[in-house]
């Protein structure tokens, strides 16, 4: 990291302010040349003219110098706050490049922060997750990881296992006559405790994955049951074409939305029916794919059909995913018919997409089906697939360790399994990361972060 990097840290385009970030061994030298001052006080906001290499004043702005190691990256860092717009920031960046800077790559500032020990790898990944959050709940889950709470838990689990490994390996050098071996009950209790905590964190991943990417909700059913109208009613706006002509929706329409601040992706799918139309057939193929990938399925049924036909549709719908049966078009029933239906039972809700009746109830049922409330009650939520895979490996190693303890097998084998678990915990923190993993992680960041 001998180079000094510079980039725009705010979005490109017209705005009130733009921020340029510079990091590296020559950052202070670049700052001196930009403002024409020999001494710049660290962590002091200096309002100053900012000049080109030939001394022409480009803009007036605020220059702040953060001296290593007390900076985001752990290196000397300079931040320039200047007027927004394309021209000013471009000219200032060109001046930085003339003074020896190179353009920063995506995520390079955070990568340097990780490599310089300012944060561990799971915290570094959470930086991008916080920035890309699409809901307050998602931001909160990512910020808990960024703040170090997840890292603290991982270090605690690692320490517990490391103490046991050290004890077991120390015992291998002595005979039972020389020392008292660790009781089997004590070894089992410790491993079981770490395994239990690992599984508790893993149990939150289904919620965490939906917080990051949005829960996929597929609206499925026969043509003309009101799927598109129901989607529009949930969104409170016209987003899909509504027509009485069967087969109007031929391709899936995916719309992001928030239900009680929980991110979802609502998909209006093509109606499933027998059809010779090739294009409509492709649409129905997409419908089946969405059902397979969905976190929740809304099976929409026309309530104006005879009761036995409605009940048959409910009973005949085979789906491995969680399903809410939406009995739509209640506005077509007379009062006597509505009373005859009575209570629909769990997982069934009556709506009128035309009038909006029952739509709020449907949203609440959707939310309760998706959200594990204990996962959102202040506890850590696992949101990253890399962390999940590592914790799966930890759990597998600990399961094997328990089997070895119960079998009274060789202590050397037990020690190997516990060391494997420790190694997988280190993967999460980035203590055993290789360059290709780091390249993959930081390439997904925006430039300037």
Instruction: Identify the weakest region by mean pLDDT among 87-101, 202-216, 390-404.
Output: 202-216
Do the beta carbons of residue 135 and residue 211 sit within 8 Å? yes
Indicate the domain borders of the chain: 5-119, 124-204+382-430, 213-371
- How many CA atoms does the CB half-sphere of 180 hold within 13 Å? 2
Bond from prior residue into 282 cis (ω within 30 degrees of 0): no
Determine the longest span between alpha carbons in the chain, in angstroms: 88
3-class secondary structure, 363: helix
Confidence of residue 249 (pLDDT cuts 50, 70, 90): very low
Check residue 424 and give its pLDDT.
94
Task: Please say if the pLDDT value at position 221 is more than 70.
Answer: yes
Residue written as token pair 């705005």: 15
Check residue 87 and give its pLDDT.
94
Check residue 167 and give its pLDDT.
80
Check residue 276 and give its pLDDT.
46
CA distance 170 to 160: 16
Check residue 434 and give its pLDDT.
59
Section 173-181 average pLDDT: 60
Domain 5-119: what homologous superfamily? Probable tRNA modification gtpase trme; domain 1 (3.30.1360.120)
Do the beta carbons of residue 34 and residue 99 sit within 8 Å? yes
The topology under which CATH files domain 124-204+382-430 is: 1.20.120
Six-digit token string for 374: 């204990």
Class of domain 213-371: alpha beta
Check residue 406 and give its pLDDT.
87
């Amino acid at each position: 990291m001998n180079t000094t990097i510079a980039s725009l840290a705010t979005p490109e385009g017209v705005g009130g302010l733009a921020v340029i970030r510079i990091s590296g061994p020559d950052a202070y030298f670049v700052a001196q040349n930009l403002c024409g001052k020999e001494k710049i006080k660290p962590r002091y906001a200096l309002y100053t003219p900012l000049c080109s290499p030939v001394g022409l004043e480009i803009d007036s702005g605020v220059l702040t110098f953060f001296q290593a190691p007390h900076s985001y990256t752990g290196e000397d860092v300079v931040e320039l706050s200047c007027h927004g717009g394309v021209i000013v920031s471009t000219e200032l960046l060109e001046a930085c490049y003339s003074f020896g800077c190179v353009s920063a790559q995506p995520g390079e500032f955070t990568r340097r922060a990780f490599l310089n020990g300012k944060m561990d790898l799971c915290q570094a990944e959470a930086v991008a997750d916080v920035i890309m959050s699409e809901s307050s709940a998602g931001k909160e889950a990512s910020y808990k990881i960024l703040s170090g709470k997840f890292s603290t838990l991982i270090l605690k689990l690692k320490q517990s296992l490391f103490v046991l490994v050290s004890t077991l390996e120390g015992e291998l050098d002595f005979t039972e006559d020389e020392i008292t071996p660790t009781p089997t009950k004590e070894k089992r209790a410790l491993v079981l405790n770490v395994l239990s905590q690992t599984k508790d964190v893993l149990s939150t991943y289904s919620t965490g994955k939906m917080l990051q990417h949005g829960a996929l909700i597929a609206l499925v059913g026969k043509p003309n049951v009101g799927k598109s109208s129901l989607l529009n009613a949930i969104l409170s706006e016209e987003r899909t074409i509504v027509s009485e002509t069967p087969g109007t929706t031929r391709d899936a329409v995916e719309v992001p939305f928030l239900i009680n601040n929980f991110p979802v992706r609502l998909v209006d799918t093509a109606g499933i029916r027998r059809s010779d139309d090739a294009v409509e057939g492709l649409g129905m193929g997409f419908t089946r794919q969405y059902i397979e990938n969905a976190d929740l399925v809304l099976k929409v049924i026309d309530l104006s059909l005879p009761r036995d036909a409605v009940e048959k549709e409910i009973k005949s719908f085979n789906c491995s995913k969680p399903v809410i049966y939406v009995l739509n078009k209640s506005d077509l029933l007379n009062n006597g018919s509505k009373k005859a239906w009575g209570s629909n039972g769990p997982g069934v809700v009556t709506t009128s997409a035309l009038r909006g009746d029952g739509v709020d109830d449907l949203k609440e049922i959707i939310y309760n089906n998706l959200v594990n409330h204990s996962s959102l009650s202040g506890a850590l939520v696992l949101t990253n697939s890399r962390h999940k895979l590592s914790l799966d490996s930890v759990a597998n190693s600990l399961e094997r360790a328990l089997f070895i303890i119960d079998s009274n097998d060789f202590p050397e084998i037990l020690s190997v399994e516990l060391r494997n678990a420790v190694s997988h915990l280190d993967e999460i923190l980035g203590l055993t990361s290789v360059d290709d993993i780091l390249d993959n992680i930081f390439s997904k960041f925006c430039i300037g972060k």
